[in-house]
Amino acid sequence: MATFDVEYDLVAIGGGGSGKMAAYIAASEGGLKTALLEKAAETGGSSVFAEGQAAFESSEQKARKVPPTPGMHYPSRAEGYQRYIDYSHKRANPEVVRTQVYETAETIDIMKSLGIVYTDVTIYAYEQPTELNSFHRPEGLGAHMQEVLLQAIKDAGVDIFTSTPARELILENGKIVGVVAEDADGNTIRIGAKAVVLAGGGFGGNLDMVKAHSRFAKNADHIIYMGPESNTGDTINMALAIGADTWELQPLMLVPVAKDKGLTAHINGGGSQPVLWVNKTGQRYYDEHVALSFADAANVIAIQPDGRSYSIMDQDTVEHLIADGSDIGLGDFIPYHVQLSGLQTELDEAIAEGDMAWKSDSIEGLAAQIGLDPAVFKATVDQYNEFAEEGDDPLFFKDAKYLRPVKTAPFYAIEMRAALLVSVGALRVNGAMQVVGKDAEPITGLYAAGMDAGGLFGDTYNLDVPGSANGFAHASGRVAARHAIKAIKG
């Protein structure tokens, strides 16, 4: 029989939204002796970067009655369920999807009881007709939510151990009985636990795992990682080591980004617009209207040669984006129709640096600076300008209102890459967030939440339901904790 240095009822591994919610419910509702282990020096995880969270039939939706966008409505649970299933090409786990659409509404009420104020319930991309109005935007966004939740678990008596990575799960007679961890001084600690919730945030920060599992493995070296450095798949690998099964490890949540720039940079906002996009061949490769969905747009960029794309615009388009505002938004990073007032300055600075933006008075000169074939690139631009003049794109059928010509010198190019925020494929779980083994049976005492729990998505992140990942993080953590409470208390 295993011996331990310290014992708890429940241990949550990972201090993001899912781990903190699991710990909060276990301690405050269940009265369980609870510990939270965080690998990094501070808690937070990917949840601090989230803007809002998805929910269905919530108190906020019911109070508002109708969305701010004319002609739209708030989705029912049934609509949400079907959208996840259909968007995944039937590859999502119906049990997990059902948990998402039934449980996310209560998260809103819990966060409100802790002091969170929701300022808006809407969609993410205002001209994307397939989006559901599921996006609950909290005051202070995800960072404030995590501050509030951190205080809540402290008040509930949860023991929080930062700089304390978990190393191994302890399995005895087919049942989880504890965790091996390492403290800040490098000492090994054996922690007894009647239940363990894995909430490590996925494997986005582990390039080897991205190459091993992702459908973007070929260009993984060209993808820019923008998530927490601590999200390296430790919890997933610990579960795999004891026989856990997986569910679609391949998908990632990607977003287009101007090389080496943050999501709020106006040069990033400009490069993400549905202007002319070409790859290293100097040719168009897609309908740039895909920019309305950042996840889809980044997926497209990530599979281009060397995983890169070039956004091409002329001076008129730059001035349009500055004076009239962005044609499409990137959520709260680049709000819809916001004036990109810093675009010209950021372009000039990047051009001076010389490795991610270029400027020329001629199309051929711009091609030479980027390293494209001048003749091919010139033909591409000429053809695109013809489409813009005619208001018709027979090549990719792009919406005419986004066909802005490239005619007024100087001409600009911005190198765009796919940035990885978090992996969204993970361990196989059932609707109670119990980790399922390769024998298709739950592993007693082991749960996964947030991006350690697979099954909500199919082959990619679903922006038809904005706020999905953050909504799932909190709902899955709570569901896992409540099941553990019942199991422990009999």
Q: Are 449 and 433 in contact (CB under 8 A)?
A: yes
> Distance between alpha carbon 480 and the CA centroid of its chain, in Å?
21
State the angle between helix axes of 17-28 and 468-489 in degrees (0 to 180), rounded to the nearest 10: 30
Per-10-residue mean pLDDT of the chain, 490 residues long, equals 94 98 98 98 93 96 93 96 96 97 98 97 84 95 96 98 98 97 95 98 96 92 94 97 95 92 92 97 97 93 97 98 91 83 96 94 98 98 98 97 97 97 96 97 98 94 94 98 96
Q: What is the pLDDT of residue 238?
A: 98
Phi, psi for 310 (deg, rounded to 5): -125, 125
Q: What is the pLDDT of residue 474?
A: 98
Q: Are 90 and 458 in contact (CB under 8 A)?
A: yes
Nearest Cα neighbor of 276 from 129, 126, 410, 396 is 396
The dihedral region occupied by 124, where left means phi > 0, alpha psi between -120 and 50, and beta the remainder, is alpha
Each domain of the chain, given as residue ranges in start order, spans 6-250+424-489, 254-420
Q: What is the pLDDT of residue 296?
A: 93
- Cβ neighbours for 38, distance < 8 A, ≥ 6 positions apart: 14, 15, 19, 160, 161, 162, 163, 164, 230
Q: What is the pLDDT of residue 140?
A: 95
The 3-state DSSP class for residue 344 equals helix
d(CA 280, CA 372): 6
> Domain 254-420 falls in which CATH fold?
Flavocytochrome C3; Chain A, domain 1 (3.90.700)
- Cβ neighbours for 60, distance < 8 A, ≥ 6 positions apart: 108, 118, 121, 136
Q: What is the pLDDT of residue 61?
A: 98
d(CA 310, CA 227): 23
Alpha helix stretches (DSSP H) within 341-447:
343-353, 363-370, 374-390
Phi, psi for 426 (deg, rounded to 5): -160, -145
Domain 6-250+424-489 has CATH 3.90.480.20: no
Q: Which tokens hold the place of 351?
A: 């051009």
d(CA 236, CA 213): 12
Nearest Cα neighbor of 201 from 384, 420, 450 is 450
d(CA 243, CA 256): 36
Nearest Cα neighbor of 310 from 265, 270, 271 is 271
What pTM, to 2 d.p., does this model score?
0.95
Q: What is the pLDDT of residue 378?
A: 98
